[in-house]
A and B are shown apart, each in its own frame.
Chain A
């Protein structure tokens, strides 16, 4: 078991970790999707989660989602915090009966010997107020380190999910640091000959500087308002659209605009431009968009159940 030598570094490289998880979930029937190309704060905001968990159709998908959290930026100086981190997101609908075991086996697939570690599921009910989404679940701790957010989705876009989905969100940088036993994320080996720092440090510095110092509060506010307005106009038109126009109606476009609002809100937040009162109001505005999108998405597919409409508008 003790094969540690000076020239053999520990653990999987960052990209090998992603390969292994993608292979594992691909072998379990998941579509492998790609990251979404609009700024998001979490893998949940990718339409492959936010929209696909709605309605009755079975679905299995896995993808990596780079996630931007402007307030977490530390100019690349903090060994554990990032402006942008990577999540590997898995959605399974319906929920397999032995899902916990399947999840734990995925840890073995990345070199974690379950019997030699302290693994536990600690209560953590996830909620995304901007998405009108929440679920029941845990954070999975590996020797005290949170490596996965594990959630049984109950509601999304203000709509009850039936059947529910399970969402597994792996924090890739954390897991890689654990496996490689490096003190800083920036020391991670991304590949055999390149470090995480080499790939990403400049980005961390610049985006921290942008979101804490450079982002123009007035412009950002205006962008927010414009995206919100366009989204509302679109959604209003969808409601009035004739049956035959609905199929090609850009509900997805409206969702992109909603995501833009969410990101711009985060930028304003990192500029400390939002008071507590205003914060609640802005979150409410984004949630209102998300809920209308969810409702339109199902209506477009003819899957909006009786009585669901009222719920989305709550």
Chain B
């Protein structure tokens, strides 16, 4: 692979460059860059390595030293590295062309070079005699053609490497020498930069590049690890107990965990996110097994696993029956633990954590969940939107409204009393000791406490599930009271935050409104629940006006929320249901107040779309829309209804009659939810529509006739656009 034809780097003047072609078997050498650092936060390493790939790749390609694809980058707690097996030792020579003054200016009447030509030649560093003339679209110009020899790679690298390092971005960076010194995620302590066996010299602040890396902090046999050649890097570090490549560490961890499982007849609870994290917490990982007192298993699994995982980064294990076992697997940054010292240390820490958790559980059980409700008055949701107690009241009433709607439309399992009770207790766990200690368990703790205290199972499950789905891949609440609660909570957040101007923008979305909106869409579609979104938004807004009178909830706000939801709807239909954007837009333009209904309409549209008549009809509808737009605002030309006596042409009478018949028929089908058949009916109009356009001139001279025809078309458009607006469909042939 070569990057020869890539765009060259910016160069002086208006130079036009071309690469020297045809060089074969150019001399190359392996390249290595290592940024040695104090421990980089685990969650940032993989991203930093990927960014290094992009940044360095960009520079190397610009100088035509190597193709970005030829590079690998790796990250470990104390280092970021980039490696290329073959990097050009010299940048390819380039032919450059620089345009000078026009020929007429550069040469006098007798063809002698003028002052202008001389100064141009001098500036270009060539003899006046070497100037050539070239013709351009703007006339003949003087041109300086040169062969610029490529620079040695080491020279270029010395310049681009420090730049690439400092260009790396981190969520938070620091300085460690002076405020004017280098900034990085943690202090940089060494840098290795090698081309073949030679150091690429550069420096950052007080650190100079060299060939000396460092091994494992505790296991390495020597403190300094000289790297003889760039391609010795990985094996040289391995000898000093550092696995530079993340994949290698991951494999080792997986193997170690499997070994432990086998030895002790235990099964690992899979946890890919934790696995990815420990890969970047260790340079030479090993797994050890620890145990805890089985009496702690009396605490709910959720709590035990969260303590093990979140605080200690331990993997949970289960027995053959799938029950949590009183063991854990810890990944340590060491070669092993022959004496069991490390294991007993970890066990002691976990014991203390579990004993804390038990203390919190027991303390919290001293009163009932409902007793915490008044305390919510002291917990602010948002300064203008009031406390969580205020929110609970709004959510209780909104979720009741939602459940009632379902209950009365064929969903008797939407138990209204359970929904209200769940909403009332939903936020009580916020003031418990357990959630203060383990905030990631909010909701879940409330559900567990509700179950423990004898609340109905439906209520406990609804509380437990209220924050689900956490993302598009997460599960939705198990029961309908849970769905109603989850929807009401999110809707209240959306309407409330929009009302006080907390509209998500760019990367800022402090209240997680995007996720909230996605959750609403996912719950409704997945559980196939009826809900008028506009009515839900309006009800939420009404409750806010009623219960938080200080906040002004303008009708604008409702529109903004609906539009915000619409964006997520588009996204979910496209990403999760694989509908094309034009199909989605066609249906959304016709209204998407009820998502399940909208989904059925898109499915129908997609099915009909491939039929013979459909696309031409879509083209015709686009044409109709254009004609109407051109005719000016509807008020100026529209009459009340189509007047039969003014229909002069046979083709327009035919269209009018056919449309009336189809309208009746498709209305019947629509009411029955048979959208596909309804659309097929509409598509069947195509021959009459075509004939109309062939035979009839819409913009007739007679104002009355014209007005009648426009009204006919407008009705056609309105009548047949309530399943989907066909004019949104992308067609091969453009409307005339």
Contact A116 B341 (CB under 8 A): yes
**Smallest beta-carbon distance B187→chain A, Å:** 7
- Proximity bits, B559-584, A CB within 8 Å = 1, else 0: 00000000000000000000000000
Contact B341 A143 (CB under 8 A): yes
The reply to whether the CB of A109 lies closer than 8 angstroms to some CB of chain B is no
Alpha-carbon gap, A109 to B675, bound state (A): 80
Nearest to A154 among chain B residues (CB) is B174
The reply to whether the CB of A160 lies closer than 8 angstroms to some CB of chain B is yes
Alpha-carbon gap, A136 to B187, bound state (A): 10
Nearest to A136 among chain B residues (CB) is B174
Alpha-carbon gap, A154 to B176, bound state (A): 8
Contacts of B41 in A (CB 8 A): 122-123
With contacts A152-B176, A154-B174, A276-B380 known, is A144 near B349, CB below 8 A?
A: yes
Contacts of B378 in A (CB 8 A): 275-277
The reply to whether the CB of A79 lies closer than 8 angstroms to some CB of chain B is yes
The reply to whether the CB of A78 lies closer than 8 angstroms to some CB of chain B is yes
Alpha-carbon gap, A119 to B38, bound state (A): 14
With contacts A115-B218, A145-B348, A178-B345 known, is A121 near B176, CB below 8 A?
A: no
Q: Residue A160 contacts which of B172, B179, B312, B356 (CB distance < 8 angstroms)?
A: B179
Within 8 A of B (CB), among A254-294: 275-277
Contacts of B344 in A (CB 8 A): 143, 181
Interface residues on chain B, number (Cβ under 8 Å): 48
Alpha-carbon gap, A183 to B206, bound state (A): 47
With contacts A136-B172, A136-B174, A276-B380 known, is A123 near B345, CB below 8 A?
A: no
Q: Of residues B352, B377, B379, which shows the largest number of chain A Cβ atoms within 10 Å of its Cβ?
A: B352
Contact B333 A118 (CB under 8 A): yes
The reply to whether the CB of A97 lies closer than 8 angstroms to some CB of chain B is yes
Within 8 A of B (CB), among A92-149: 94-95, 97, 100, 104, 114-123, 125, 135-136, 138, 142-145
The reply to whether the CB of B244 lies closer than 8 angstroms to some CB of chain A is no
With contacts A115-B219, A162-B179 known, is A78 near B174, CB below 8 A?
A: no
Contacts of B178 in A (CB 8 A): 162-163
**Smallest beta-carbon distance B659→chain A, Å:** 62
**Smallest beta-carbon distance A270→chain B, Å:** 13
Within 8 A of B (CB), among A153-186: 154, 160-164, 178, 181, 183
Contact A100 B339 (CB under 8 A): no
Contacts of A94 in B (CB 8 A): 177
The reply to whether the CB of A80 lies closer than 8 angstroms to some CB of chain B is yes
Alpha-carbon gap, A135 to B333, bound state (A): 25
Contact B359 A120 (CB under 8 A): no
Nearest to B345 among chain A residues (CB) is A143
Nearest to A119 among chain B residues (CB) is B218
The reply to whether the CB of B279 lies closer than 8 angstroms to some CB of chain A is no
The reply to whether the CB of B95 lies closer than 8 angstroms to some CB of chain A is no
Alpha-carbon gap, A154 to B183, bound state (A): 12
Nearest to A145 among chain B residues (CB) is B349
Q: Of residues A81, A94, A95, A275, which shows the largest number of chain B Cβ atoms within 10 Å of its Cβ?
A: A275
Contacts of B115 in A (CB 8 A): none
The reply to whether the CB of B332 lies closer than 8 angstroms to some CB of chain A is yes
Nearest to B337 among chain A residues (CB) is A118
Alpha-carbon gap, A100 to B36, bound state (A): 13
Contacts of B557 in A (CB 8 A): none
- Proximity bits, B638-652, A CB within 8 Å = 1, else 0: 000000000000000
Contact A95 B176 (CB under 8 A): yes
- Proximity bits, B130-148, A CB within 8 Å = 1, else 0: 0000000000000000000
With contacts A163-B178, A276-B380 known, is A121 near B172, CB below 8 A?
A: no
**Smallest beta-carbon distance B624→chain A, Å:** 58
Contacts of B383 in A (CB 8 A): 277
Contacts of A117 in B (CB 8 A): 334, 341-342, 345
Alpha-carbon gap, A165 to B345, bound state (A): 31
Contacts of A178 in B (CB 8 A): 345, 348
Nearest to B356 among chain A residues (CB) is A80
The reply to whether the CB of B623 lies closer than 8 angstroms to some CB of chain A is no
Within 8 A of A (CB), among B365-415: 377-380, 383
With contacts A115-B218, A152-B187 known, is A144 near B356, CB below 8 A?
A: no
Alpha-carbon gap, A297 to B177, bound state (A): 23
With contacts A123-B42, A162-B179 known, is A79 near B352, CB below 8 A?
A: yes
Alpha-carbon gap, A94 to B344, bound state (A): 38
With contacts A121-B38, A152-B174 known, is A145 near B345, CB below 8 A?
A: yes
18 A-B pairs with CB atoms under 8 Å apart are A78-B359, A80-B355, A95-B176, A117-B334, A117-B341, A118-B342, A119-B217, A119-B333, A120-B281, A121-B39, A135-B174, A144-B312, A145-B345, A152-B176, A160-B179, A163-B177, A163-B178, A181-B344
Those 7 A-B pairs whose CB atoms lie nearest each other, nearest first? A143-B345, A123-B41, A275-B378, A121-B39, A118-B332, A136-B174, A144-B349
A interface with B by C-beta (< 8 Å):
78-81, 94-95, 97, 100, 104, 114-123, 125, 135-136, 138, 142-145, 152, 154, 160-164, 178, 181, 183, 275-277
